[in-house]
Amino acid sequence: MRFLENDSQAIAVEVVRRVSVGSQYRISSSYGYAGIDDGVVEVLAILPHKIEGEALGTIADLPVRVSDVQSWIDGHTEVELQNLGEDEDSYGQIQESLTELPWILYHYSGRHDSESYQVLPLETFLDHISQL
């Protein structure tokens, strides 16, 4: 953590967070964010918006199908952009964060049902995790 600004009214800090495959984090729903259950998760893969080429190999050995993961990413992107509406000022920025930044594929520890595998855009994942 690095302090950028400090006065009697406010403090500005810069925080660096590292997300790596195999690491575990505590994830929280943040007041019921759709699709996120509270729990401990393990990062399985860091993926681009479109899973192709080298990215295919990163999830080939996992117990999820590439087509399922891609449909989760596409569905999440579509819902987020529909909810936002193209007339919003931040539409371009949100679209870029969904299509240009990495996606995190994770698994809830201790669960083995199909719902235990989830994928979120990096920014959303970071907003909902804390270190164990």
Asked whether residue 27 is domain-assigned, the answer is no
pLDDT tens string 9-30: 888 888 888 899 999 999 998 7
In a domain, 73, yes or no: yes
pTM of the model as a whole: 0.80
The answer to whether position 35 is within a domain reads no
In a domain, 69, yes or no: yes
Q: Between 66-84 and 91-99, two packed helices, what is the crossing angle to 10 degrees?
A: 170
> Which residue would you say has higher pLDDT here, 57 or 26?
26
Residues spanned by the domain of 87: 44-123
For residue 23, being part of any structural domain is answered with no
pLDDT per residue as tens digits for the range 82-121: 777 666 667 777 777 788 889 999 999 988 777 789 999 9
The number of beta carbons lying within 10 Å of the beta carbon of residue 73 is 22
**How many domains is the chain partitioned into structurally?**
1
Regarding predicted confidence, which is higher, 1 or 111? 111
User: Would you say residue 128 lies in a domain?
Assistant: no
